[in-house]
């Protein structure tokens, strides 16, 4: 006998009918969810301004939600102004499926990763050379987010990116502008600038982002028409154009991948370097593996990546503890049942990635950093949804395959060349700004090994 949505345990409604105040007080949705599940169990309920939300923190129960293929439009409305051809985060399933069928293979293609690898490696080496020459500490997240974004652009646009100047930086600042304001509004604060002024600046930022994108893609098309440069049909823009997608959708797709790849891979790399620096035995093993696989070289080849097994274990353990995207959202399009509850059509479901990764029944001593959890035998004995940094189901991260390559490359080059130590007195506080980052960055001294 199934229980109803209203029977799901959760905190009592607050005076304003939702829990935004409690979420802000907890320091973000991820910490609110952690506490929610500690108090109310693996299926819990709370209120956002526009909807009742069901959060599911148990891998087995998550199976019932894995096929859901819609996201709640309201939660992603802040991204609407960025897209010309419809907000890609919330495209209806019938429109989403054929588009995704083109995008996913392009982003996860092994041969395309290998072909672009030397250019990606050159981006990382440039940063490493700069760090080798500097004496001041490095703000890891800032530097690595920018590097990750350059790598995404290089992969998605091919050699046209090299000609696109400061495209990436301009798009990031426009996106960051929207995001800052959205977070501010969500937390119920006064807008930092008057509403009229704000709208004008948002519009300008969006216009500028779209203009720069248009310019870059036009450049790619002209190169293809003139038969210049390498075979552009291997990159994402080329693949989309060959598949006949209209220019607006091509531009939107590129922007979507840049948004998705901008700070996620950068923060994952920075959390990993931070955690490794705090654990001398892990650092020793990582250095030994890199020295062994690279044998005097400072940069891996594409084929080396799969031999860096311990590096991958440390990365996974870091993404368990600090999942760059700490939650994902779905909406039911038919009635489903989860954990004995009947969820009607239109229910918002959250996948609380951070709370699943710190569920003590799944991960003993969940706050301890221990890469051995990802040794092959240990990983094989766990439920497949116990570790879900890239989300689950038909809308999981389309950049996951590429992210895995770019993060392992960044880690390999940087950990091979440098030893990282936190600047004395610098406190690292995780906060959620749609990605899980450090409030005041992660400031490290960087010394050559
Ligand atoms: C460590 C790195 C990354 C993590 C942890 C991560 C995580 C995620 C998560 C959790 C989602 C939501 C999935 C869901 O709703 O179930 C997502 C979506 C997405 N990510 Fe990533 N991501 C990473 C890197 C990247 C990169 C490098 C790119 C692009 C090159 C990217 C592009 C996207 C896009 C476009 C979406 C929306 C997918 C769709 O709706 O079709 N991500 N990512």
Q: Whose CA is nearest to atom 41 of ligand 1?
A: 395
Q: Which residues contact 443 (CB under 8 A, 6 or more apart)?
A: 137, 138, 139, 140, 422, 423, 426
The pLDDT of residue 97 is: 97
Say which CATH number the domain at 77 has.
1.10.630.10
- The DSSP line for 367-393 is TS--GGGGSHHHHHTS-TTS--TT--G
Q: Whose CA is nearest to atom 43 of ligand 1?
A: 397
The pLDDT of residue 230 is: 47
Describe the chain by its helix, strand, coil percentages, rounded to 5: 60, 10, 30
Number of domains making up the chain:
1
Give distance in angstroms: CA of 362 to centre of ligand 1.
24
Q: What angle do CA 334, 397, 354 make, to 5 degrees?
A: 85
Q: Whose CA is nearest to atom 11 of ligand 1?
A: 397
Annotated binding site for heme, which residues? 397
> Per-residue pLDDT averaged across 120-149, rounded?
94
d(CA 155, CA 166): 16
Per-residue pLDDT tens digits for 376-399: 999 999 999 999 999 999 999 999
Where does the pLDDT of residue 416 fall: very low under 50, low under 70, confident under 90, or very high at 90 and above? very high
Give distance in angstroms: CA of 397 to centre of ligand 1.
3
The pLDDT of residue 231 is: 45
**CB of 408 closer than 8 Å to CB of 301:** no
- Which strand ranges, in their side-by-side order, compose the sheet holding 341-343? 3-4, 341-343, 336-338
The pLDDT of residue 247 is: 84
Per-residue pLDDT tens digits for 264-309: 999 999 999 999 999 999 999 999 999 999 999 999 999 999 999 9
Give distance in angstroms: CA of 227 to centre of ligand 1.
32
Domain that holds residue 263: 3-448
ipTM value of the model? 0.99
Residue 169: pLDDT over 70: no
Annotated binding site, which residues? 397
């Amino acid at each position: 006998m199934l229980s109803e949505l209203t029977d799901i345990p959760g905190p009592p409604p607050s005076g304003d009918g939702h829990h935004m105040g409690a979420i802000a007080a907890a320091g973000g949705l991820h910490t609110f969810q952690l506490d929610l599940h500690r108090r109310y169990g693996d299926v819990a309920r709370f209120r956002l301004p526009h909807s009742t939300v069901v959060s599911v923190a148990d891998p087995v129960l998550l199976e019932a939600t894995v096929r859901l293929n819609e996201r709640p439009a309201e939660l992603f409305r802040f991204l609407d102004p960025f897209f010309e051809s419809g907000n890609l985060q919330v495209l209806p399933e019938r429109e989403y499926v054929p588009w995704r069928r083109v995008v996913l293979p392009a982003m996860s293609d092994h041969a395309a990763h290998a072909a672009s690898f030397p250019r990606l490696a050159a981006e990382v080496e440039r940063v490493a050379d700069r760090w080798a020459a500097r004496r001041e500490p490095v703000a890891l997240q800032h530097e690595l987010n920018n590097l990750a974004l350059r790598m995404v652009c290089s992969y998605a646009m091919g050699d046209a990116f090299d000609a696109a100047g400061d495209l990436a930086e301009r798009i990031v600042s426009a996106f960051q502008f929207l995001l800052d304001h959205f977070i501010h509004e969500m937390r119920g604060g006064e807008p930092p600038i008057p509403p009229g002024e704000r709208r004008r600046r948002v519009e300008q930022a969006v216009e500028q982002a779209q203009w720069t994108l248009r310019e870059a893609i036009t450049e790619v098309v002209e190169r293809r028409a003139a038969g210049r440069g390498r075979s552009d049909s291997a990159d994402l823009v080329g693949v989309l154009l060959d598949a006949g997608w209209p220019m607006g959708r091509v531009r939107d797709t590129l922007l979507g991948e840049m948004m998705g790849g901008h700070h996620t891979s950068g923060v994952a790399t920075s959390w990993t370097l931070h955690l490794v620096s705090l654990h001398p035995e892990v650092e020793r093993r990582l250095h030994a593996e890199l020295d062994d696989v690279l044998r005097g070289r400072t940069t891996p080849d594409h084929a080396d990546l799969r031999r860096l097994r311990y590096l991958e274990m440390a990365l996974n353990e870091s993404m368990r503890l600090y999942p760059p995207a700490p939650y994902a959202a779905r909406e039911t399009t038919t009635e489903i049942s989860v954990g004995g509850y009947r969820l009607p059509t239109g229910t918002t479901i959250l996948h609380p990635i951070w709370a699943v990764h710190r569920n003590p029944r799944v991960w003993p001593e969940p706050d301890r950093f221990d890469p051995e959890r990802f040794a092959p035998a240990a990983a094989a004995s766990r439920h497949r949804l116990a570790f879900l940094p890239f989300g689950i189901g038909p809308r999981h991260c389309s950049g996951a395959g590429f992210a895995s390559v770019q993060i392992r490359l960044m880690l390999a080059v940087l950990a091979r060349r440098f030893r990282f130590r936190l600047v004395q007195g610098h406190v690292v506080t995780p906060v959620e700004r749609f990605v899980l980052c450090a409030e005041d960055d992660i400031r490290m001294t960087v010394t050559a090994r």
